Amino acid sequence: MKPSHFKRRQLLSVTASLLASLSGLAHAQDQRAIRRVFVGFPPGGTADNLGRALANQAPDAKSVYVIENKSGAAGQLAALATLQAPADGNHLLLTPSSVLTLAPQLYKTPLFNPLRDLQPLACLGDHSFALAVSGRSAINSLAEYIAWVKNHPTLATFASPGLGSAPHFLGVQMGRDIGTALTHVPYRGVAPGLQDLMAGQVMSSFSPLPTLLDLHQSGRIRILAVTSATRLSSLPEVPTFAQAGLPNLQLVEWYGLFASAKTPATAVASLSADIQKSLKTPAMLDAAKRLEVNLRYEDAATLGKMVAQDQERWKGLVAQSGVQLD
């Protein structure tokens, strides 16, 4: 056999083996389950960032987690997408608590029943909220803010991520506590409201703390108070609302992972265990620190109780506010 023929046959053999290996690898990748995680808010918000950080740490090599943003209806469109998808354990909802415990109570005809329609999987963590003004504002403290609101009641506006959101009701509660109502300006997500805050189109904003921290540190906005029980290590100079004499504005919102109530019990147990592992990884701990989120694993049973308890907590405030959505 001529040397050239031998080399050609050897090359063809190596090429065939390589193609077979690549084909096997592609086939193995194709066999991985794609788990779609629905988030009810636009990219860049706390829920979205937390979901993407969690997806990167998923310990199950047989699965790929993909974040899908379904913003609208105070975060409820993501819940509806979860309920309309197959109940196979591969279609999940990552949501802040207010979407399940506050928003459904605002609708004359609720879009869904969280306690009946959703299966809790795991609590992921929690964060507080904050009141902020533009960095160009002359207001430097909560006391100055309250005085300004009382002197300019028709100009006292506050932005929130949407009608029926937890920040919306913080603004309602604050107006009630200080004796001067604030005008609510709802946005579709946090980012548009913050853009208008910095541009001077709205006077203040109640928002999730994680979305405010970088802007505060860069001087583009100024955080006046936080809703946590104690001062935060990242903002030691900023008081809590309770310290400033407004204890009704203490609020921490948790984030949970849910599936359809029809999801098999074996899938529920597996997913909950996966999340518990993910929350312990160094990379997830680092991500949570950047996001100003306190990682907090709670199992499915505990999370279900949290939903029921928080629904009861919001009932009184919803009734008092008079807010109702069609």
For residue range 30-43, list pLDDT tens digits in order.
567 889 999 998 88
Q: What is the CATH number of domain 128-249?
A: 3.40.190.10
Q: Where are the domains of the chain?
A: 29-126+253-321, 128-249
Average pLDDT over residues 118-137: 97
- Give 239: exposed, middle or buried? Use CB within 10 Å, 0-12, 13-18, 19+: middle
* CA 14 from centre of chain: 50
Residues 175-187, mean pLDDT to the nearest whole number? 95
29-126+253-321 and 128-249 have identical folds: yes
**Portion of the chain with pLDDT greater than 70, in percent:** 89
Name the 3-class secondary structure at 206. strand
Share of the chain above pLDDT 90, in %: 66
Distance between CA 212 and CA 218 in Å, rounded? 10
Q: Per residue in 257-310, pLDDT tens?
A: 999 999 999 999 999 998 999 999 999 999 898 888 999 999 999 999 999 999
The answer to which of 59-63, 180-184, 224-228, 297-301 has the lowest mean pLDDT is: 59-63
Distance CA 162, CA 189 (A): 6
Q: Which CATH architecture has domain 29-126+253-321?
A: 3-Layer(aba) Sandwich (3.40)
CA-based angle 29:84:192, to the nearest 5?
A: 85
